[in-house]
């Protein structure tokens, strides 16, 4: 007996960041976060549950993965197998349309695509909210990639796993876009998982970070509701900088920045000073993401091309939530 599931999930970029867990096993965050789903970066994943397999097998971009990577996947699949009361092993094939581990949140699209595919293969029919609580337990940021547009990941209550899930705040079908400035797409040296733990344990700024992120969430939701792009951008930029400032306060200090990150930030500020509203945010990597109006994207791209190569500038529109792929749509 074989049972198949196929799903596409897009990555998301947090405008209000998640940086720290209150419960490591359950991936429960210290604060709620809010993101924008992007259509330019995604993962396609196929799960085949196969009675004849003796262990899970995991291929990423056609390369068979080793024990360590496969074990992470096995643990994640077990969440679904336990719920469905089955033990069937799986063959997983994932294709990343994201520069892996470049701070472009590839784990977000990876675990939400896997959650969507596994939901289909097991016939569990979990609703999206519940599915986001499963995705969360693969990688925190994956909680948000279940949905498109602007998405809030509600931190939830106490140690109650089912209360910490994502919701769509707005479909972002207005004048919104994002441009990624790829400064360095190599693998990052310090994973977010380790970086956030180290920040909680040693940064004296951590409690202020949680406080300020909580206020930022409230205010950014107001800005989204009133489609106030400037306030949206200002809160986004400020929140990202505050996260990085909190990391710098860790011992030893954590910085994901490179000289070209600073160059990109300064360039964006220069563009903004000429009257085009655009704002930066950065994650656990050196790449810079620019939140801008969709209608200004071409102009901003052209200005960025004065200082960066074509291949470093990746524009993206707003992305959708997870979608199941038919056999015909599976072009691998
Ligand atoms: C800086 O979701 O990669 O991108 O939950 O440990 O897998 P784990 O971490 P991950 O962290 C993302 C951190 C961030 C901010 C964000 O996406 O909110």
Q: What is the CATH number of the domain that holds 223?
A: 3.30.70.890
Strands (E) located in the chain:
2-16, 21-23, 28-29, 33-50, 57-60, 63-64, 90-97, 150-153, 166-170, 177-181, 278-282, 288-292, 313-316, 323-324
Nearest to 33 by CA among 108, 83, 90: 108
What is the token pair recorded at 83? Answer: 């719920």
- Decide if 125 is inside a domain: yes
> Do 132 and 24 share a structural domain?
yes
Domain of 129, CATH number, reads: 3.30.230.10
User: Are 157 and 217 contained in the same domain?
Assistant: no
Do the domain assignments include residue 325?
A: no
Query: Over 60: is that where the pLDDT of 103 sits?
Result: no
Taking 60 as the threshold, does the pLDDT of residue 311 lie above it? yes
75 contact partners, CB below 8 Å, separation of at least 6: none
Compute the C-alpha angle 128/71/86, nearest 5°. Answer: 55
* Mean of pLDDT over the chain: 96
Verify whether ligand 1 is closer than 6 Å to residue 172 (CB atom): no
189 pLDDT band, cuts 50/70/90, is: confident
- Ramachandran class of 185: left when φ > 0, alpha when ψ lies in -120 to 50, beta otherwise: alpha
Strand order across the beta sheet in which 288-292 lies: 278-282, 288-292, 177-181, 313-316
User: Is 27 close to ligand 1, i.e. is its CB under 6 Å away?
Assistant: yes
Mean pLDDT value of segment 168-193: 91
219 and 152 fall within a common domain: no
Res. 102: pLDDT tops 60 = no
Q: Per-residue pLDDT averaged across 8-22, rounded?
A: 98
State the burial class of residue 307 (Cβ atoms within 10 Å of its Cβ: 0-12, 13-18, 19+): middle
Say if residue 25 is in the same domain as residue 158: yes
- Which of 73, 108, 180, 284 gets mutated to test ligand 1 (max ligand atoms within 8 A of its CB)? 284
Ligand 1 in reach of 72 Cβ (< 6 A): no
285 alpha carbon – ligand 1 mean position (Å):
11
Give domain status of residue 321, yes or no: no
Q: What angle do CA 140, 124, 154 make, to 5 degrees?
A: 30
Q: How far is CA 309 from CA 115, 264, 274, 294, 303, in A?
A: 36, 12, 22, 21, 11
Structural domains in the chain (count): 2
Question: 95 and 230 share a domain?
Answer: no
Q: Which residues contact 207 (CB under 8 A, 6 or more apart)?
A: none
Note whether 131 and 165 are same-domain residues.
yes
140 lines ligand 1 (CB under 6 A): yes
Q: Please name the residue whose Cα sits nearest to atom 6 of ligand 1.
A: 193
Check whether residue 117 and residue 188 sit in a common domain: no
Question: Is the C-beta atom of 107 inside 6 A of ligand 1?
Answer: yes
Do residues 238 and 285 share a domain?
A: yes
Residue 100 covered by a domain: yes
What does the pLDDT look like over 56-90, one tens digit per residue? 999 999 999 999 999 999 999 999 999 999 999 99
Single residue among 106, 138, 171 that ends a domain in this structure: 171
Segments forming the whole domain that contains residue 267: 176-316
Compute, in angstroms, the gap from residue 273 CA to the centroid of ligand 1.
31
Q: Is the pLDDT of residue 125 over 70?
A: yes
Instruction: Please state the atom number of ligand 1 nearest to the C-alpha of residue 138.
Output: 7
Distance CA 122, CA 3 (A): 7
Q: Give 200 Cα–ligand 1 centroid separation in angstroms.
A: 14
How sure is the predictor about 105, in pLDDT bands with cuts at 50, 70 and 90? low
Determine the Cα angle at 44 with ends 294 and 14, to 5°: 45
The pLDDT score that the predictor gives to residue 104 is: 67
Confidence band of 99 (pLDDT split at 50, 70, 90) = low
- Distance, CA 19 to ligand 1 centroid (Å)? 7
Domain assignment present for 324? no
Average pLDDT over residues 184-194: 84
Same domain for 164 and 37, yes or no, is yes
Confidence category of residue 157, pLDDT binned at 50, 70, 90: very high
Residues 183 and 302 reside in one and the same domain: yes
Same domain (yes/no): 213, 312? yes
Q: By 3-state DSSP, what share of the chain in percent is helix, strand and coil, each rounded to 5? A: 40, 25, 35
- Are 138 and 286 in a shared domain? no
Which token pair is 325? 């792929």
């Amino acid at each position: 007996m074989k049972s198949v599931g196929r799903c596409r999930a897009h990555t998301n970029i947090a405008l209000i960041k998640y940086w720290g867990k209150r419960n490591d096993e359950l991936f429960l965050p210290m604060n709620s976060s809010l993101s924008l789903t992007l259509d330019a970066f995604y993962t396609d994943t196929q799960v085949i549950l196969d009675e004849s397999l003796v262990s899970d097998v995991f291929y990423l971009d056609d390369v068979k993965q080793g024990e360590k990577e496969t074990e992470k996947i096995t643990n994640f699949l077990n969440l679904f197998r336990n719920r469905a009361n089955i033990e069937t092993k799986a063959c997983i094939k994932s294709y990343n349309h994201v520069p892996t581990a470049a701070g472009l949140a590839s784990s977000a699209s990876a675990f939400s695509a896997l959650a969507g595919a596994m939901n289909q293969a097991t016939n569990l029919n979990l609703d999206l909210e519940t599915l986001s609580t499963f995705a969360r337990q693969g990688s925190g940021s994956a909680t948000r990639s279940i949905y498109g547009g602007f998405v809030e990941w509600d931190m939830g209550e106490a140690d109650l796993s089912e209360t910490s899930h994502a919701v769509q705040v707005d479909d972002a079908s207005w004048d919104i876009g994002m441009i990624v400035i790829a400064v360095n797409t190599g693998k990052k040296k310090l994973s977010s998982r380790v970086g956030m733990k180290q920040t909680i344990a040693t940064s004296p700024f951590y409690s202020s970070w949680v406080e300020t992120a909580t206020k930022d969430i409230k205010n950014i939701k107001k800005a989204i509701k009133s489609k106030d792009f400037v306030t949206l951008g200002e809160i986004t930029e400020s929140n990202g900088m505050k996260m990085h400032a909190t990391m710098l306060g860790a011992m030893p200090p954590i910085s994901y920045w490179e000289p070209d990150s600073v160059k990109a930030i300064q360039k964006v500020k220069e563009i903004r000073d000429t009257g085009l509203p655009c704002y930066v945010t950065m994650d656990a990597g050196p790449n810079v993401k620019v939140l801008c109006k969709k209608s200004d994207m071409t102009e901003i791209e052209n200005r960025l091309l004065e200082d960066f190569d074509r291949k470093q500038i990746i524009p993206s529109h707003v992305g959708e939530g997870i979608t199941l792929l038919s056999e015909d749509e599976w072009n691998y």
